[in-house]
Amino acid sequence: MTHEAIIAVGQQATLMVLLVGGPLLLVSLVVGLIVSIFQAVTQVNEMTLTFVPKIIAIAVVLIILGPWMLQIFGAYTATVFTSIANLSR
């Protein structure tokens, strides 16, 4: 396996991680910021108030974007297996 092939697989893996994990992290960040602002304004310091909205928001995003994420991940997996099969030639 050449250095270029290893770097290409690494770049594809990084891109896949960003595409699949990015929306979940972004939604979690936005919901956490909104809850933090709400807590600062109302001075409510309930610890569970930060976790429950994040879990619900991430579940909604997974329901909406789940098929797209599986499609991206499946395409990447097929590409990696194809490139592994082509290495032996």
- Residue 54 belongs to a domain: yes
Q: Kindly list the distances between the CA atom of residue 22 and the CA atoms of 15, 27, 86, in Å, as whole numbers in the listed order.
A: 10, 9, 31
SS3 89: coil
Token digits of residue 82 = 């194809």
- Residue 71 belongs to a domain: yes
Report the pLDDT value the prediction gives residue 50, as an integer from 0 to 100. 84
Q: CA-to-CA distance for 43 and 28, rounded, in angstroms?
A: 21
Report the pLDDT value the prediction gives residue 1, as an integer from 0 to 100. 66
Strand locations in 22-86 (E): none
Report the pLDDT value the prediction gives residue 55, as an integer from 0 to 100. 94
Report the pLDDT value the prediction gives residue 88, as an integer from 0 to 100. 62
Domain residue limits at 32: 23-87
- Residue 44 belongs to a domain: yes
Does the model's pTM come out above 0.85? no
* Domain count across the chain: 1
Burial track 56-88 (b if 16+ CB lie within 10 A, e otherwise): ebbeebeeeeeeebeeeeeebeeeeeeeeeeee
Q: pLDDT tens digits, the chain, 89 residues: what are they?
A: 678 877 888 898 999 999 999 999 999 999 999 999 998 898 888 878 889 999 999 999 999 999 999 999 999 999 888 888 777 66
Q: CA-to-CA distance for 43 and 49, rounded, in angstroms?
A: 12
Q: CA-to-CA distance for 17 and 15, rounded, in angstroms?
A: 5
Token digits of residue 57 = 């928001």
Report the pLDDT value the prediction gives residue 2, as an integer from 0 to 100. 76
- Residue 49 belongs to a domain: yes
